[in-house]
Amino acid sequence: MTGLSDFEIVLTPLDEPALARLLAAAVDGAEPHEVMPPVDGPPGWTPGRRAAFLAFHRRRSLDPDTAIETTWLVEVDGRAAGAARLQPVLGGSAIEVEAGVWLGRWARGRGIGKRVAEVLLESARDGGATRFIASTTVDNTAARRLLRGTGAELDVHGAEVDARLEL
Ligand SMILES: CC(C)(COP(=O)(O)OP(=O)(O)OC[C@H]1O[C@@H](n2cnc3c(N)ncnc32)[C@H](O)[C@@H]1OP(=O)(O)O)[C@@H](O)C(=O)NCCC(=O)NCCS
């Protein structure tokens, strides 16, 4: 998938070579807690966290026996910048998909997240989803503004923010 902007933004479905590039982008430009569930141990990209990052994506996206979501490597002008994901979830009568995005520090605050969100919305609609949801935290201003910009309703409860957009 390709998005229009000043940058060439390409979303490539994750495979093993893309996963290796994604890990390198995460290590280079993101904190572990921004891109993966917590792993015990000293701070930073320890060997254990790198292995857990790979296992996380293999389990959730690459292994056909366990996959629950589609993940894309986000490339900006050919450089691995981060990840985007769509996960079908149970939403009552709605066909609901949960979205997530992270970008490396160098790619943040340049309108790239907004373009990626548009591509994810288009993909969700094309896939027949009728509701788009995402979560973030109150202190994540960029993510909150990004979600509000899609037209989603934001529900704040404590430190958490849930976004919901009927498609
Ligand atoms: C959240 C994230 C995906 C947003 O993508 P981005 O490319 O940085 O955001 P954009 O440049 O497209 O900007 C989106 C909106 O956030 C605002 N914004 C961007 N960076 C901001 C910052 N540091 N502080 C305040 N607002 C900010 C923009 O002004 C824009 O709002 P507007 O449309 O009302 O003007 C990205 O910052 C990121 O990966 N952060 C770290 C990981 C993360 O938090 N992921 C989301 C978890 S829910």
List, in order, residues 6 or more apart from 109 with CB less than 8 Å away: 142
Q: Is the pLDDT of residue 156 over 50?
A: yes
pLDDT at 3: 47
Q: Which two tokens stand for residue 34?
A: 């921004």
**Dist. CA 80–CA 112, nearest whole Å:** 13
- How does pLDDT run across 35-80, given as a tens digit for each residue? 999 999 999 999 999 999 999 999 999 999 999 999 999 999 999 9
Domains in the chain: ranges and CATH: 2-166 (3.40.630.30)
- Choice from 106, 114, 147 to test ligand 1 binding pocket (greatest atom count within 8 A of CB): 114
If you take atom 21 of ligand 1, which residue's CA is the nearest one? 142
Question: Does the beta carbon of 74 sit less than 6 angstroms from any atom of ligand 1?
Answer: no
User: What is the 93 CA–ligand 1 centroid distance (Å)?
Assistant: 31
